[in-house]
């Protein structure tokens, strides 16, 4: 089979506030997810190590984008890391230590749903770290990331931006929807009253950590569907992968049930067929 390089060519979706139709969105998402599977196979074949960071405002669409990226991928190749608050033991470790243990081995891609940038955001704004710890993070983070890149890791950083009006609308939607109410943490609610402080913290973070070896890529998250398509298309464009899709195969015949007797069905416990 001839191996072909791939660089996804998106279908023009138009710009601005024009609504993206459901059928157009689903068709484009399906196309991009096929490309993600090809990227996955290339990562395995080449033994690549890929790290993708997802940061940004609360309710900006990070989780939905991560879900669409991983939807058709193997968790053995592409995993998601969403760490809880550090334990008392982790608080005494080198700050980056608990993140290092989740970095990928050869043939793996790891998506961080929030990352070491917690220190530059929520920890800074909410006072969970000292001024000295914050300043040390701004000094050491660029060197830490350059070290990862020098080691051969592909480090990709996304910041999801959302307007305050759209964030407010999504927060209200979470309150009204029973299956989404869990998404509103105390930190999310507190962020509403500290919008300017979070903005200043984000600006300072960009000023210190937007380095050429691992630049920040800003995603406009006001339209969730467009944001998902845009971030997937951009991710695919950053890695020069090749199509290793195998040729169609014929399934071998199933072994005949010779000499095998199934146990009685009434000896097994079945899930009640309520529906």
What would the two tokens of residue 117 be?
Answer: 């940038």
At 45, is the pLDDT very low, low, confident or very high (cuts 50, 70, 90)?
very high
Query: Under a CB-based contact definition with an 8 Å cutoff, are residues 77 and 47 in contact?
Result: no
Residues with Cβ within 8 Å of residue 90, at least 6 apart in sequence: 97, 98
Q: How many CB atoms lie within 10 A of CB 100?
A: 12
Q: Is the pLDDT of residue 247 over 60?
A: yes
pLDDT at site 18? 66
- Stretch 133-148: mean pLDDT: 98
Q: Is the pLDDT of residue 92 over 50?
A: yes
Count structural domains, the chain.
Answer: 1
- Measured between alpha carbons, how far is 28 from 184 in angstroms, rounded to an integer? 30
Where is pLDDT greater, at 253 or 65?
65
Does residue 202 form part of some domain?
yes
Q: Is the pLDDT of residue 89 over 80?
A: yes
Chain centroid to CA 23: 24
- Measured between alpha carbons, how far is 181 from 172 in angstroms, rounded to an integer? 10
Does residue 208 form part of some domain?
yes
Q: Is the pLDDT of residue 246 over 60?
A: yes
Does residue 18 form part of some domain?
no
Query: Which residues span the domain enclosing 220?
Result: 23-241
Does residue 44 form part of some domain?
yes
What would the two tokens of residue 217 be?
Answer: 């890529």
Q: Is the pLDDT of residue 204 over 90?
A: yes
pLDDT at site 95? 98
Does residue 65 form part of some domain?
yes
Per DSSP, the three-state class of 34 is: helix
Angle between helices 224-238 and 62-70 (to 10 degrees): 50
Q: How many CA atoms lie within 13 A of 34 on its CB side?
A: 12
In order, the DSSP letters of 215-249 are -EEEEE-SSHHHHHHHHHHHHHHHS-EEE-PPPP-
Q: Is the pLDDT of residue 2 over 50?
A: no
pTM: 0.87
Q: 143-163: per-residue pLDDT in tens?
A: 999 999 999 999 999 999 998
- Measured between alpha carbons, how far is 111 from 221 in angstroms, rounded to an integer? 18
What would the two tokens of residue 152 be?
Answer: 């051969």
89 strand-pairing partners: none
At 83, is the pLDDT very low, low, confident or very high (cuts 50, 70, 90)?
very high
Where is pLDDT greater, at 245 or 39?
39
Does residue 257 form part of some domain?
no
Does residue 184 form part of some domain?
yes
- Stretch 237-241: mean pLDDT: 98
CATH of the domain at 218: 3.40.50.300
Identify which of 67, 65, 155, 64 has the alpha carbon closest to the alpha carbon of residue 104. Answer: 155
């Amino acid at each position: 089979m001839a191996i072909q390089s791939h660089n996804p060519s998106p279908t023009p979706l138009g710009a601005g506030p024009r609504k993206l139709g459901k059928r157009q969105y689903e068709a484009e998402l399906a196309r991009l997810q096929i490309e993600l599977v090809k990227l996955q196979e290339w990562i395995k074949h080449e033994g690549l190590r890929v790290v993708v960071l997802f940061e940004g405002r609360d309710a900006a669409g990070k989780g939905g984008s991560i879900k669409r990226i991983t939807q058709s991928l193997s968790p053995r190749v592409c995993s998601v890391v969403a760490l809880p608050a550090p334990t008392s033991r982790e608080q005494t470790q080198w700050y980056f230590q608990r993140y290092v243990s989740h970095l990928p081995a050869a043939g793996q891609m790891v998506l961080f749903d929030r990352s070491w940038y917690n220190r530059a955001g929520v920890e800074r704004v909410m006072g969970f770290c000292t001024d000295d710890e914050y300043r040390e993070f701004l000094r050491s983070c660029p060197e830490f990331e350059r070290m990862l890149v020098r080691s051969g890791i592909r480090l990709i950083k996304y910041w999801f931006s959302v307007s305050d009006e759209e964030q407010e609308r999504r927060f209200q939607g979470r309150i009204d929807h029973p299956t989404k109410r869990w998404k509103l943490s105390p930190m999310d609610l507190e962020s509403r009253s500290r919008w300017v402080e979070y903005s200043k913290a984000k600006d300072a973070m960009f000023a210190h950590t937007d380095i050429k070896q691992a630049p920040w890529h800003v995603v406009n998250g006001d339209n969730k569907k467009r944001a998902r398509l845009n971030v997937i298309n951009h991710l695919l464009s950053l890695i020069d992968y090749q199509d290793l899709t195998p040729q169609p195969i014929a399934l071998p015949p199933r072994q005949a049930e010779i000499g095998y007797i199934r146990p009685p069905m009434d000896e097994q416990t079945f899930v009640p067929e309520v529906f």
